[in-house]
Copies of this chain bind each other. A is one copy, B any other.
Amino acid sequence: MNNAGIAFEVRDLTKHFGPNEPLILDGLNLSVRNGELVSILGASGCGKSTLLNILSDLDSASSGSLVVNEKTTLIFQEQSLMPWLSAGKNIELALLINKYPKKLRRKRAQELLELVHLGSAYDKRPHELSGGMKQRVAIARALAQEKKILLMDEPFAALDAITRDFLHEELISIWQRTGITIIFVTHNVREAVRLGQRVLLMSSKPGRFLKEWVVDIPEPRRIDSPAVSQLARVITDDLREEISRHG
């Protein structure tokens, strides 16, 4: 089930928040194979987070069908650390819930914090962390769960270019090593191209997938390589066109 088959499939999915509200998602179709890394781009407010919420069963679709074959986890766009737990304990909570052996938890949490360059932040409370640090703890927490599908909602938005580069490499290495499926929502077109095997462009009002690019630039890709830049430029033009359609 790891190497072949469908991780999840969405067919004709629609979503509106209340009967008299407009459709946010309308007839959305998406099929992702196990082990794929798919980037999703789209205008602000087009429904990316809504889609991820539905995929992780936090919200229900209004109609359509959804098959999810693997356990999912989600890195939220907003601040999502538990304020009553330190950074390390936030990660340990994820380990605990996923039945990680009690004795090894602390060590594992520390490892994960080091992975996101926060080795010394174990005992810091969320309110003592900077925006980017919180985001990185959330990433570490998601990785702690070792779910087969990882949904990431603009996870690197608050990180500087260098830390982001570094985490790109870590993410790709984890992905290659474990064969998990990753859906990566971002506003950074280069980032989408840097990471994705496919890049999907979402339209807004209503949200559905407009276009898809298969990225066949071999790893190790570099975000500032000409190949990435070039594809990014093409996609940006499409994005601009799509957004200007709506004003």
A29 within 8 A of B: no
Q: Are the C-beta atoms of B157 and A158 separated by less than 8 Å?
A: yes
> Which residue of the partner chain B has the closest CB to A119?
B247
A136 within 8 A of B: yes
Q: Are the C-beta atoms of B132 and A45 separated by less than 8 Å?
A: yes
A65 within 8 A of B: no
Q: Copy number in this complex?
A: 2
Q: Are the C-beta atoms of A154 and B131 separated by less than 8 Å?
A: yes
Tell me the minimal C-beta distance from A228 to chain B in angstroms. 13
A6 within 8 A of B: no
Residues 101-131 of A at the B interface (beta carbon under 8 Å): 117, 128-131
Known: A49-B130, A79-B78, A128-B17. A43 touches B239 (CB 8 A): no
Neighbour of A117 across the interface among B129, B157, B247, CB < 8 A: B247
Residue interface bits A221-235, CB-to-B below 8 A is 1, else 0: 000100000000100
Q: Are the C-beta atoms of B243 and A44 separated by less than 8 Å?
A: no
A162 within 8 A of B: yes
Q: Are the C-beta atoms of A44 and B159 separated by less than 8 Å?
A: yes
> Which residue of the partner chain B has the closest CB to A42?
B160
Q: Are the C-beta atoms of A161 and B132 separated by less than 8 Å?
A: no
Known: A45-B133, A131-B77. A157 touches B160 (CB 8 A): no
> Which residue of the partner chain B has the closest CB to A235?
B161
Residues 15-47 of A at the B interface (beta carbon under 8 Å): 17, 41-45
Chain A residues proximal to chain B, CB less than 8 Å: 17, 41-45, 48-49, 77-79, 117, 128-133, 136, 154, 157-164, 187-189, 224, 233, 236, 239-240, 243-244, 247
Q: List 26 A-B contacts (CB under 8 A).
A: A43-B160, A43-B162, A44-B130, A44-B131, A44-B158, A44-B163, A45-B133, A48-B130, A77-B158, A78-B79, A78-B131, A117-B247, A131-B154, A132-B187, A154-B158, A157-B157, A157-B158, A158-B187, A159-B187, A160-B187, A161-B188, A161-B189, A161-B239, A162-B236, A162-B240, A162-B243
Known A-B contacts: A44-B132, A49-B131, A160-B187. Give 9 more (CB < 8 A): A41-B160, A44-B130, A44-B131, A44-B160, A132-B187, A154-B158, A157-B158, A160-B239, A164-B187
